[in-house]
Structure 1
Amino acid sequence: LERSASLVQDPESGVVRKNPKKSATHITMRILMQAFTMTFLAEWGDRSQLTTIILAASKNVYGVITGGIIGHSICTGLAVIGGRMVAAKISVRTVTIIGGIVFVGFAVYALIVKPDDI
C-alpha cells in the first residue's frame, strides 16, 4: 500500500485508516505533564521542600506559599531559558561535569560552614 500523508495501514490488521494528527493542544499538554511530573518527583523530599516545611511551621503560611510559588517559578524559568542557551553552545557531557563539580563544591561548603553562620 502506498502511504500518503493522511492514510496509514495498521500493520497487524491491514486496515487502512486516517492518520490522526496531534493538535498543538495535545502536544502542549503532553509536555506540560512531563515537566510537572519530573519537577514534582525531583522536588519531593528535596532539601528545598524540607526548608519550606520548616519555614511554614514558623511563619505565615500564605506568605510561604506565595513566596515559594514565585521563587520556584522564577528559578525554573531561568533554568529553562539558561538550559536552552547552554544546549546551543556546550555539550551535555560538559554541562554534566560542571554540574557535578558545582554540586561537590556546595557539599564541601555545607560541611565547612555551620548552619548558624548563614
Structure 2
Amino acid sequence: MGLSLVEGLTKSLAMTVLSEIGDKTFFAAAILAMRYPRRLVLAGCLTALIVMTILSVFLGWAAPNLISRQWTHHITTILFFGFGFWSLWEGFADEGEAEEFRELEAKLNADLKAENGSTKRNSKGNDDLKKQQRPFLTQFFSPIFIKAFSINFFGEWGDKSQIATIGLATDENPLGVVLGGIVGQALCTTAAVLGGKSLASQISEKMVAISSGILFLVFGLHSFLSGAGES
C-alpha cells in the first residue's frame, strides 16, 4: 500500500489517547476497578477495546475494496472535520466537568445493588475462596470479566472514536493503526483502572474535548491537502 507504518501508528495513538481520556468507557473502567479485582477489570476492558480496534481497522481496510479509494478518502476527510468541530463544540458547551462520570457511577451503583442484594457480605468470602481455588485462566471468564468486556465493547460501538478509527484505517497503514490504537487503549485503560475515581474526577473534560477537536481538524486538513493514497 505504500503507507507509512510509523505515521499510522502515531496518528492512531494520538487520536486514541485524546478520544478515550474522559470517555464513558474510561469512566466505566475507573468505576469498575473500585468495586472489583483490578486485574479482571483491566483484562475485560482491554480485551473489549482491542477487539473493537481490530474490528474497526478491518472495516476501514476493507472499505476501499468496496468503494473507490477516492470516495473513502473524501468521506474520511469529512469525518475528521465533522468530529473536530463536534469535539470543539462539546468542549466549549460543557456545563460541568465529571458530569458523565457521576451519571455512569450512579447507573453502575444501581446495577451493583441489584446484582448483590442482601447476600453481598456472605458471598464475598466465598468468592475470594473460589478465586484462589480456580485456575488462573478461568478467572478471566468470570462474571466480572464478562461485565467489564460487555460494558466497554458495547459502550464503544458506534462511538466517534470507533468511526474515526475506521476512517483512519482507510488512509493509513492498517497495522500501524492497530498498533497505535492498542497502545493508546492500553495506556488509557490502565490509567483508569489504577487511578480510579481520583484520576477520573480530576480530568478536565473541557480541555480534552478541545484538544481532540484540534487533533481531528489537523487530521482533516492533512487528509484534505493530500490526495487519496498519499496520506
Could you tell me the TM-score, scaled by structure 2's length? 0.30
Q: Unaligned regions of 5+ residues in structure 1, if any?
A: 1-20, 88-94
2:150 aligns with 37
Provide the rounded CA distance (Å) in 2 between the counterparts of 1:27 and 1:64. 30
RMSD: 3.4
> Mapping of 1:1-118 within 5 angstroms?
22=127, 23-24=130-131, 25=134, 28=140, 29-83=142-196, 86=198, 95=201, 102-103=204-205, 109=210, 115-116=217-218
Could you tell me the TM-score, scaled by structure 1's length? 0.54
Percent identical: 33
2:121 aligns with none
- Pick closer, same or farther for the CA change 1:106–1:71 going to 2, 3 Å: closer
* Structure of higher RCO (CA pairs closer than 8 Å, 6+ residues apart): 2
Provide the rounded CA distance (Å) in 2 between the counterparts of 1:106 and 1:66. 22
Provide the rounded CA distance (Å) in 1 between the counterparts of 2:184 and 2:146. 21
Q: Unaligned regions of 5+ residues in structure 2, if any?
A: 1-125, 223-231
- 1:58: how far off? 0.4
- Pick closer, same or farther for the CA change 1:50–1:34 going to 2, 3 Å: same
User: Structure 1, residues 52-85: CA drift from partner, whole Å, max 9, x if none?
Assistant: 111101011111112111110111010111115x
- Pick closer, same or farther for the CA change 1:105–1:59 going to 2, 3 Å: closer
User: Structure 1, residues 35-63: CA drift from partner, whole Å, max 9, x if none?
Assistant: 11111111111121111111101011111
Structure number having the greater strand percentage = 1
**Greater C-alpha radius of gyration:** 1
Runs of 4+ in 1 over 3 A off after TM superposition: 25-28, 102-107
- Pick closer, same or farther for the CA change 1:72–1:106 going to 2, 3 Å: closer
* Secondary structure of 2:158's aligned partner: coil
Structure number having the greater helix percentage = 2
- 1:103: how far off? 3.9
1:5 aligns with none
